[in-house]
Amino acid sequence: MTTRVPALRRALLGSLSAGLALAVTATVAPPGSATTDPPLDAPRSVPSDAAQRSAADTSAQRAARGQVRRPLVTAHRGASGYRPEHTLAAYQLGIRLGADYVEPDLVSTKDGRLVARHENEISGTTNVDDLPQYADRETTKTIDGEPITGFFTEDFTLAELRTLRAEERLPDVRPDNTRYDGRFQVPTFEEILRLVRDHNAKPGRDVGLYIETKHPTYFDSIGLSLEEPMVRTLRRFGFDEPRSKVFLQSFETGNLRELDSMTDLPLVQLMDVVGGPYDLEAKGDPTTYEDLASRQGLRGVSEYADVVGPEKTLVIPRNADGSADRRTALVGDAHEFGMRVHVFTIRDENQFMATDWRRGDDPNAKGNVFGEITSYLDAGIDGFFADYPDSGVDARDAWVAANR
């Protein structure tokens, strides 16, 4: 399935008018566009691709032309601004607050069961440090080339992992969430699918799943591949149908190409602001996320992915003083190659925003999140991840109403 199916993409990612669809699926920019590839005889003074993107208010028309009418709001790790992340309570609240999708990150247990944790190292998100029976499980491992000391899901059976309780990952930023420490278990993938399936069986608004495979190269290296059990479980629960509301995402490239041969569900290439895909790094390939976010890189990504998921400053960078710079050409370029753009992560607290949207000097105080979201929607994005899904839904709905 190395060629993505346009009809499926349109069905899964939102319909457009015929004229807009033609613009979105075009593989080259229209004649005269300021962001087309330079001619072969262009003078040496032509700006680099990165320079073109950083000055790319010129891409606004292309970005808007391919934008969906109602951008998606995904509850990031559930409603993680209000509950400890990756718990059934966080997912349930994300659904109640109106999110279109909830996001589980998947890792494996020792006995091959998929569970939801942001990382396989769990000392920061569970009470494992407090349980003496597991003290000897602490160890140092190399994950994606970095040494990490702690407790890892792959060293626990599911039964053992279920004796742990979730804790707030950012207690200094979100102290109110610590009142829920100890109340919730680490959920299995099956439990999350059942939660969403049961919600969707009731009359009303269906919710989707936005699933990330974590550290796929590492898990492959220890014989606990994530992709096959994930796809099997999705099929068992009826979430691998052509119109299922499911996205599959990864920071790596190889497992997305593998998934492209296993399922027709839309695939999302995540892009961080630093570094590069670890599967490429492990092979000695120096490709960075910045390379993938370039016009040439996006053309290659479109061969296997339906969506790009950039860290938000790849769309609206920041100046040295922390203020927002002009938008890049990433959104317009992705739209030209037939892909949607879903950015991460929108958070309400000042410290996670450009200075343009901060209010006061307290880094943990709430900033002008509605202004920030509006700026990204104006930049043409098709969706975003939010720790506070209610803020995201309110801002998105106001923007949609104003742009009808």
Distance CA 84, CA 170 (A): 9
Q: Region of 393 please: left (phi>0), alpha (psi -120 to 50) or beta.
A: alpha
pLDDT digits (tens, 9 = 90+) for 151-169: 999 999 999 999 999 999 9
pLDDT exceeding 70 applies to what percent of the chain? 85
**Among residues 118, 215, 335, 342, which one is catalytic?**
118
pLDDT digits (tens, 9 = 90+) for 197-246: 999 999 999 999 999 999 999 999 999 999 999 999 999 999 998 789 99
Please give the single-letter amino acid code of residue 316: I
Report DSSP letters for 337-372, one per residue. Answer: TT-EEEEEEE-SBGGGS-GGG--SS-TTSB--HHHH
Whether this model's pTM surpasses 0.75: yes
Q: Per-residue pLDDT averaged across 367-394, rounded?
A: 98
pLDDT digits (tens, 9 = 90+) for 8-46: 343 444 433 333 333 333 333 333 333 333 333 333 333
pLDDT digits (tens, 9 = 90+) for 110-119: 999 999 999 9
Q: Are residues 284 and 243 in contact, defined by beta-carbon separation less than 8 angstroms?
A: no
| Residue-level pLDDT at 131 | 97
Residue 215 a catalytic site member? no
| Residue-level pLDDT at 5 | 46
pLDDT digits (tens, 9 = 90+) for 132-148: 999 999 999 999 999 99
Q: What are phi and psi of 350, to 5 degrees?
A: -50, -45
| Residue-level pLDDT at 272 | 98
| Residue-level pLDDT at 404 | 81
| Residue-level pLDDT at 64 | 83
| 189-200 and 227-236 helices, crossing angle to 10° | 30
Grade residue 59 by pLDDT with cuts at 50, 70 and 90: low
Report DSSP letters for 205-229, one per residue. Answer: ---EEEEEE-SHHHHHHTT--SHHH
Residue 76 a catalytic site member? yes
pLDDT exceeding 90 applies to what percent of the chain? 83
Q: Which stretches within 274-321 are classed as H helix?
A: 278-282, 289-293, 295-301
pLDDT digits (tens, 9 = 90+) for 273-330: 999 999 999 999 999 999 999 999 999 999 999 999 999 999 999 999 999 999 999 9
Of 128, 129, 192, the residue nearest 160 (C-alpha): 128
In the numeric block, the tokens 């278990």 are attached to 185
Please give the single-letter amino acid code of residue 390: D
Q: Are residues 246 and 135 in contact, defined by beta-carbon separation less than 8 angstroms?
A: no
Domains of the chain: 6-26+47-118+187-402 (3.20.20.190)
